[in-house]
A and B are shown apart, each in its own frame.
Chain A
Amino acid sequence: MKKWKIFKQGVLEELPLQLGVFPFGVIYGVMAIESGLTFLQALLMSSIIFGGASQIAFVQLLSNSSPFGVIVTTVGAINSRHLLYGISMVEYLNKLSLSWRVMLAYLLTDEAYAVSIRKFINNSDNSILHYHLLGSGLTLFVSWQISTLFGVLIGNDLPEFLDLQFIIPLTFIAIIVPMIKSKSTLLTVITAGISALIFKNLDINFWIILSGLFGVLAGMFTIRLDKK
């Protein structure tokens, strides 16, 4: 009974975030169809990868005929922050069975983490806290699948005058702007942006990865500026 209650709490706390997630899922669905993926590929990518920004980057790179190595590395790099989520949650989940950890790892996305880590930190002695993450993660999963389906279904019916490809940079702007909270993060963005202009025009195949590397280095070298 208590397990059900904490699961329900995870669901209810996750629900308000779906106001932001749902349109994002629809946008992914539309873009996936625009990029040439089949209905099934577009739909199932949302359960196979289950990572919003990385899926949009995937379809954008695919429509630009980027090398597959670039697509895989970019998806991995975008989702690399989830490694930190796992690290910060391991002390609460390490006593669970392997099947539980596999399931929760699969559901460990930005929004589920944001909601459940607060619960974990405030109730660290509770042995059934993982039901909260199950609730928040499943809510996000269901919402993501439904919104993707919605986007995939309307993908071919949108008016021609809308330059849908432009939704991708706009979406990424919406994602990264709130993440620029310090001088070092701002310098990361500026360096990665300038590097991209240079490397892309030099026709370097892995220009995204190389620009990203320069951006990360710029952030790390200037992290001291944040502490002043």
Chain B
Amino acid sequence: MIWSLIILCGVITFLIRFVPLSGIISSDLPLSVKQSFKYIPLAVLTPIIVSDLSIMENKNFFIIDNFKLYAALIATLAALIWNNVLATISIGMASFLIMSNF
């Protein structure tokens, strides 16, 4: 079942890349449709981040001792300053480890 899922995702990803080059669709999409594309990755990745930070568990807010939340805020700052994937992850992870162990 996992294999089918991987292959299905692969086919969809390939089709997204191939369809414009195939000539099937017009390259002249409405402006509003083109504009919407820039928001999609942000709009889909943010819920995953929010969910992983466990800000709300069992319908209760979990903020005060939520070290992941604080580490994520520090990582956001690092991303703003350095714009580097490795630096962001390293600083976020180090902050989390320090806060949860001391």
**Footprint of B on A, CB under 8 Å?**
20, 23-24, 27, 37, 41, 44-45, 48-51, 53-54, 57-58, 60-62, 64, 68, 71-72, 74-87, 89-91, 93-94, 101-102, 104-106, 108, 161-163, 165-180, 184-185, 188-189, 191-193, 195-197, 200-201, 207-209, 211-216, 219-220, 223
A83 touches B19 (CB 8 A): yes
B64 contacts partner chain A, Cβ-Cβ < 8 Å: no
A188, B21: Cβ atoms under 8 Å?
no
Main secondary structure of the interface of B (DSSP, over half): helix
Q: Are B17 and A174 neighbours in the complex by a CB distance under 8 Å?
A: no
Q: Contacts A45-B6, A168-B52, A193-B47: A215 and B42 contacting too (C-beta < 8 A)? A: yes
Determine if B89 and A216 form an interchain contact, defined as CB atoms under 8 angstroms apart.
no
Candidates B40, B88, B92; contact of A78 at CB < 8 Å:
B40
Contact A102 B88 (CB under 8 A): no
> For residue B41, which residues in chain A have a CB less than 8 angstroms away from its CB?
53, 77-78, 80-81, 175-176, 179
Q: Which residue of B lies closest to A186 (CB)?
A: B42
A83 near B20 with CB under 8 A, answer yes
Residues of B within 8 A of A (CB): 1-3, 5-10, 12-14, 16-23, 27, 29, 32, 34-53, 55-56, 59, 68, 71-72, 75-76, 79-80, 83-86, 88-89, 92-93, 96-97
CA–CA, A184 and B47, complex, Å: 17
Residues B52 and A178 in contact, CB atoms below 8 Å apart: no
Chain B residues lying within 8 Å of A189, measured Cβ to Cβ, are 42-43, 46
Decide: B52 and A192 in contact? CB cutoff 8 A.
Answer: no
Contacts of A172 in B (CB 8 A): 45-46, 48-49
Q: How far is the CB of B51 from chain A (nearest CB, A)?
A: 6
The CA-CA distance from A127 to B51 in the complex, in Å, is: 48
What are 20 of the A-B contact pairs (CB < 8 Å)? A20-B84, A24-B85, A44-B6, A53-B41, A57-B44, A87-B29, A101-B18, A163-B96, A167-B93, A169-B49, A174-B84, A176-B41, A176-B49, A192-B50, A193-B46, A196-B46, A196-B51, A212-B43, A212-B46, A216-B40
